[in-house]
């Protein structure tokens, strides 16, 4: 398989994963909204609802972060920068991209960045994560994120 064929295959994988994450995230946000609107019968029910709400919120945060990385990878594909390391500008090995299709650095540069505490945090445009969501009451502000 040529690198071009592999890149085309990775694009399809990224698109499928992006669509699955969008559906999952829309579902997660809907269930979070429902949990907030329900009233509980007693303190134990309220505690269980709060714990489940926190778990769902953290899962939504992880899914949102992955979705943002995928959107960035797809944008890099459109601009022709996909597969080039942001550190050294050399091609990222195909095996790395197959393992982590939204990687932006080769392993050497990634390790160096982590060692220096200089790891790219990914896109900051969280409003993009909810493109194509049918529930108009849903927005990226419905996601609780722990930034501590």
| pTM score of the predicted model | 0.61
What integer is the mean pLDDT of 108-137? 62
* CA 80/CA 74 separation, integer angstroms: 10
Range from 16-30, 72-86, 108-122, 128-142 carrying the lowest mean pLDDT: 128-142
Q: Half-sphere exposure of residue 124, counting CA atoms within 13 Å on the CB side?
A: 2
Binned at pLDDT 50, 70 and 90, residue 31 comes out as low
| Torsion of Cα atoms, 133 then 21 then 82 then 147, to 10° | 90
Band (pLDDT 50/70/90 cuts) for residue 118 is confident
51-101 pLDDT per residue, tens: 767 777 777 788 889 999 999 999 999 999 999 999 999 999 999 999 999
Domains of the chain plus CATH, in order, are 3-124 (1.20.120.910)
The pLDDT mean for the chain works out to 76
């Amino acid at each position: 398989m040529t690198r071009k064929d592999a890149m085309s295959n990775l694009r399809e994988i990224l698109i499928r994963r992006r669509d699955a994450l969008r559906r999952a995230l829309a579902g997660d946000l809907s269930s979070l909204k429902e949990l907030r609107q329900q009233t509980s019968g007693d303190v134990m029910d309220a505690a269980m609802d709060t714990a489940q709400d926190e778990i769902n919120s953290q899962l939504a945060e992880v899914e949102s972060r992955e979705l943002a990385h995928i959107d960035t990878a797809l944008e890099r594909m459109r601009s022709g920068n996909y597969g080039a390391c942001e550190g050294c500008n050399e091609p990222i090995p195909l095996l790395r991209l197959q393992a982590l299709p939204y990687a932006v650095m080769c392993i050497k540069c990634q390790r160096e960045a982590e060692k220096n505490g200089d790891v790219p945090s990914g896109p900051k445009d969280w409003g993009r994560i909810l493109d194509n969501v049918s529930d108009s009451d849903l927005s990226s502000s419905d996601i609780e994120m722990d930034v501590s």
